[in-house]
Amino acid sequence: MLQITLPASRFFNEQTEEFVFYEPVTLKLEHSLISIQRWESKWHKSYLSSENLSAEEMIDYIRCMSLDPNLNPQVLSRLRQIDFERIKDYISDPMTATTFSQHDDPHQRKQIITAEIIYYWMVSFGIPFECAKWHLNQLMTLIKVCSIKNNPKKANKNEAAKQRAALNKARRARMGSTG
């Protein structure tokens, strides 16, 4: 969880020609599958596949991350650049010591991943729904670990070539062909 404290401040409202005073507020934010599901239900597009979110979409995602169901939307207008940087760093933090080799499946990178896809993976691997509250990067790491552990290791290229050569040799012998 990320906590951001917005200090007390005052603002001059030109329409009413009055000063408005804001009390300090502490935002409690979670980057989780639940947050993504909330955001995608409003915007009808994949959060994870969206490379450049508009300012409005980003502010709304921060609203979806809030653990306060009664968050006043005006509080989000008080976020400073340093707060946005902290949120960005929090979202990109892997939250784990687990690492993977660079030999990722090229087909997975092209897949559009939505909250429903992630829930499907959770069901497929028997991951309890309470994990939807985890930091999203931790959940995705767990899903990747389950995927790796549940799939038999692929034969390396040399083994595959040897197997093909043996099959071809057997076929040639059976057919009386020289290839």
Write out pLDDT tens, residues 14-68: 899 999 898 999 999 999 999 999 999 999 999 998 888 999 999 999 999 999 9
Residue 163: per-residue pLDDT: 77
How confident is the model over 98-106, as a mean pLDDT?
Answer: 65
- Check if the beta carbon of residue 31 is closer than 8 Å to that of residue 115: no
Give the whole-number percent of the chain exceeding pLDDT 70.
89
Confidence of residue 157 (pLDDT cuts 50, 70, 90): low
Q: Is the pLDDT of residue 102 over 80?
A: no
Q: Which of 2-16, 62-76, 88-102, 131-145 has the lowest mean pLDDT?
A: 88-102
Checking if the pLDDT of 82 tops 80, the result is: yes
Q: Which helix (H) or strand (E) holds 136?
A: helix 136-150
Pairing between β-strand 2-6 and β-strand 25-29 as defined by DSSP bridges: antiparallel
SS3 state at 26: strand
DSSP 5: E
pLDDT for 106 equals 53
Mean pLDDT in residue range 112-123:
92
What is the predicted pLDDT for the residue at 155?
44
Query: What are the domain boundaries of the chain?
Result: 1-179
Mean pLDDT of the chain: 87
Q: Does the reported pTM lie above 0.75?
A: no
Report whether 71 contacts 6 (CB < 8 A): no
Which residue in the block uniquely carries the two structure tokens 């502010």?
59
Task: Supply angle C-alpha 106, 109, 59, rounded to 5.
Answer: 170
